[in-house]
Structure 1
Amino acid sequence: MARPARGHPREPVTMSRLWTRLTYANYQFVAFVVVGGALAAVDAASPETACMTRPVALYRLAVELDPDYAQGHFNLGVFAQARGDFDAAVEHYRAALAADPLDHTPLVNLGQIYVQRGEYPAAIAALENAARHGHDDAAVWTLLARAHRERGEMDAAQRAAGRARRQAPRDPDVWREVAAVAHARDDWDGVEAALARVVALDPAAADAVFGLGRVAERRGAVDEAVRLYERAIAMDPRLVPAYGRLAVVAVERGETEAARRWLRELLRIAPDDPTATHLLESLGGRASAGRPAGAGR
């Protein structure tokens, strides 16, 4: 993620300050060499983890040497977020903000984490703060749209989704959120239009094709819905909801054997799905063991 230019005024350089900085730089260099040598041995023993171990250890050393090293805290936050350690990521992003209050990039990442955790008020506060300070971009507005939508604040969600759409009209994820907002407002025309844009921008978007099938089914165009569900499965053989809808449609049409077939396919992918298991048993069928659909393709 690109970071904005820093805007700190420069401190006057005195001989005492220069000597302190040179001494500190030498100490830091020696420490990095020592740690780097140790990490080389770790890398040789575990090459599959070297790409994560080395930079994390070096940045940890850097922030121990200089607790106000904002970039180090930010990078450690990125690594922690990538491995799903959100508590550590939040701690590092907050430390980065404290060390450099003029750089608001960590607010965007904090907003992402808060949205993932379902902490929507905190997400909205962080993301709106980021938008006010140089991060007025589609990614931020898309996250804001989701946070407002999850809170039931539909007018705010629609405004945020609209800003995201205007800023990034060719981003499929933006249109996915536009569709989600439209769905929450029971605007099926809006859902269909947004999902059609997703498919136009990303022809491999099986989730959007499935969504178009749901729109068609709701409107009573069952044959079209079945065609779209089957197309979605051809694109992504592990798309569990599509198998489920095909089974339900088959049951409603009285096509018991077809319903059993779709349910067995679903249970090969998700063997612990209780709804599919119960429905299959109610149709007089049993799940058969086998490879998940799409395995080895």
Structure 2
Amino acid sequence: MRRTINKRILAAATMTLAAGLATGLAGCASGHGRYTTEHIERANERMATIKAATSWDMARQQFLAGDLSKALNNVDESLDLNRAVPKSHTLRGRIMMELGQLEAAVVSYREALELDPGFVEAHYYLGIAHERFSEHDQAMERYLAAANLDPSNAQFIIAAAEMHIELGQLDKAMELLESRRSNHQHNAGVRQTMGHIAMMRGDYERAVTLFGEARLLAPDELALHEDLALAQIASGRFTEAEYSLRRLMKHKDFKDRRDLKHAQARCLIHLDRPVEARSILLALTSDSAGASDIEAWIDLGEVAMHIGDMNRVRLVAARLTAIAPNRHEGPLMMAMWSRRAGDLNSALASLNKAVSLAGADPRPAMLRGVVLDELGRRNEAASSFIDALAIDPTHDQARRMLAAVQQDD
């Protein structure tokens, strides 16, 4: 009897357990619990964030390497995974700018700023986009926003100052840089930009000071050495300028620069070292580029006149007449050669041509007056001296020669 009851109890328990297991399995088959679902969703979000960051990093490296196509694919993949990242939109804008698609770049930068109005890079690169559209006021607004958000970064305030320069607002550009100077006491770029403004304002002495300070802050930046040398020339410091140029041209990237050799030769002329200047100018005019280098030929002719190398003067005059027929220097030098040779009539013919081409240079009219005086044609000589003074009222020699011929009459 007991055995029968036990069998019944065991059978009932087994059926109850089976039913409970079936119910549990049915519950599992119907879906996850709320906690489990939220946990899975958060895990997926974290994974998407990690993948988006990885794609962004790859895109950035490819952008820096110049592989724009791959960079664009990866940044788009990053944005597909997570569109709420301002730096991803900004990187896409930079890629589109490099691809020449400025409108698309602007859209990306604005999307970045909608997500984070204080995202500095988006302001700065949107400013660059406006600058490329020649929208200088809008560009300056963005650069100033970036500068205010990150006062420690000098490139933002320099960019804003450059927009003032583009708009011809030199005083405002200088005032802006001066107002932020305390934030950038040790920044060479700020002083360099101030030096450029000083040069444009004709304040060459201050430019020398500013470029000198910039060079001390960044002695390895050779562009600063060049700026300083040019400022020294403009301020008449030819000894310092020639030394600066000589040092600069010892570097491989500068040693073959024709413009720097020109500048050095002109310094040597001002320092009354014409033979050294002639050596540089002969080298400049002897190669294929020099065959049509008008300024080098003019300087060579003037040096040749200074040291009395009249054969060289004649050669230069002929060359200038050939390569620059609409300039007055060729006929002027030919007149100098003819006068030195004693052929005053040929000199006068060349000078008449030089005067017609001279524009704002009083020298042809001045020399024509001298030749006319030597030919005994004093009234015409006086008229020519008056022409020279009309071009340059401060020309003392023309004034003295005019007084002399008038006194003789």
State percent identity of aligned pairs. Answer: 18
Deviates more, 1:119-128 or 1:60-69: 60-69
Which of 184, 198, 208 is the aligned partner of 1:90? Answer: 208
**Aligned counterparts of 2:193 and 2:283: Cα–Cα separation in 1:** 29
Change (3 A) 1:167 1:100: farther
Equivalent pair of 2:328/2:355 in contact (CA under 8 Å): yes
Q: Deviations for 1:222-281, whole angstroms, at most 9, x for unmatched residues?
A: 222111211111113543222222222222222233223323333444456431331242
Aligned pair count reads 257
Which of 260, 263, 284 is the aligned partner of 1:140? Answer: 260
> In the alignment, what sits opposite 1:65?
183
> In the alignment, what sits opposite 1:28?
151
> In the alignment, what sits opposite 2:307?
185
> In the alignment, what sits opposite 1:81?
199
**Aligned counterparts of 1:63 and 1:79: Cα–Cα separation in 2:** 15
Q: Deviations for 1:105-152, whole angstroms, at most 9, x for unmatched residues?
A: 222232233334443331221001111123221111112222233334
**Aligned counterparts of 2:173 and 2:186: Cα–Cα separation in 1:** 18
> In the alignment, what sits opposite 2:173?
55
The Cα shift of 1:171 comes to 2.5
Report which of the two has the higher share of helix: 2
> In the alignment, what sits opposite 2:400?
275
Equivalent pair of 2:204/2:234 in contact (CA under 8 Å): no
Tell me which amino acid in the other structure corresponds to 2:343: A
> In the alignment, what sits opposite 2:323?
201
Deviates more, 1:226-235 or 1:68-77: 68-77
Which of 343, 346, 354 is the aligned partner of 1:221? Answer: 343
Change (3 A) 1:251 1:203: same
**Aligned counterparts of 1:201 and 1:257: Cα–Cα separation in 2:** 35
Tell me which amino acid in the other structure corresponds to 2:244: A
Let me know the Cα RMSD of the aligned residues. Answer: 3.7
1:211 partnered with 2:333: yes
**Aligned counterparts of 1:184 and 1:106: Cα–Cα separation in 2:** 33
**Aligned counterparts of 2:307 and 2:366: Cα–Cα separation in 1:** 24
| 1:212 counterpart SS class | helix
**Aligned counterparts of 2:317 and 2:226: Cα–Cα separation in 1:** 26
Q: Deviations for 1:202-241, whole angstroms, at most 9, x for unmatched residues?
A: 3332234322211221112222211121111111354322
**Aligned counterparts of 1:145 and 1:48: Cα–Cα separation in 2:** 32
The Cα shift of 1:155 comes to 4.3
Tell me which amino acid in the other structure corresponds to 2:326: A
Equivalent pair of 1:138/1:174 in contact (CA under 8 Å): no
Tell me which amino acid in the other structure corresponds to 1:205: R
Flag the structure with larger Rg.
2
Change (3 A) 1:181 1:78: same
**Aligned counterparts of 1:121 and 1:30: Cα–Cα separation in 2:** 37
TM-score computed with the length of structure 1 as normaliser: 0.71
The Cα shift of 1:89 comes to 0.4
**Aligned counterparts of 1:199 and 1:76: Cα–Cα separation in 2:** 41
Tell me which amino acid in the other structure corresponds to 2:204: F
Equivalent pair of 1:62/1:69 in contact (CA under 8 Å): no
Unaligned runs of 5+ in 2: 1-119, 122-145
**Aligned counterparts of 2:218 and 2:152: Cα–Cα separation in 1:** 23
Tell me which amino acid in the other structure corresponds to 2:314: E
Which of 344, 347, 355 is the aligned partner of 1:233? Answer: 355
**Aligned counterparts of 1:187 and 1:50: Cα–Cα separation in 2:** 46
**Aligned counterparts of 2:378 and 2:356: Cα–Cα separation in 1:** 22
Which of 146, 159, 166 is the aligned partner of 2:279? Answer: 159
Change (3 A) 1:151 1:29: closer
> In the alignment, what sits opposite 2:367?
245
Tell me which amino acid in the other structure corresponds to 2:185: P
Tell me which amino acid in the other structure corresponds to 2:271: R
Deviates more, 1:92-101 or 1:271-280: 271-280
Change (3 A) 1:268 1:180: closer
> In the alignment, what sits opposite 1:266?
388
Higher relative contact order, structure no. (Cα contacts within 8 Å, ≥ 6 residues apart): 1
| 1:28 counterpart SS class | coil
**Aligned counterparts of 1:149 and 1:159: Cα–Cα separation in 2:** 12
**Aligned counterparts of 1:94 and 1:238: Cα–Cα separation in 2:** 34
Change (3 A) 1:181 1:266: closer
| 1:132 counterpart SS class | coil
The Cα shift of 1:61 comes to 4.5
Runs of 4+, deviation exceeding 6 Å: 21-25, 29-33
Tell me which amino acid in the other structure corresponds to 1:185: I
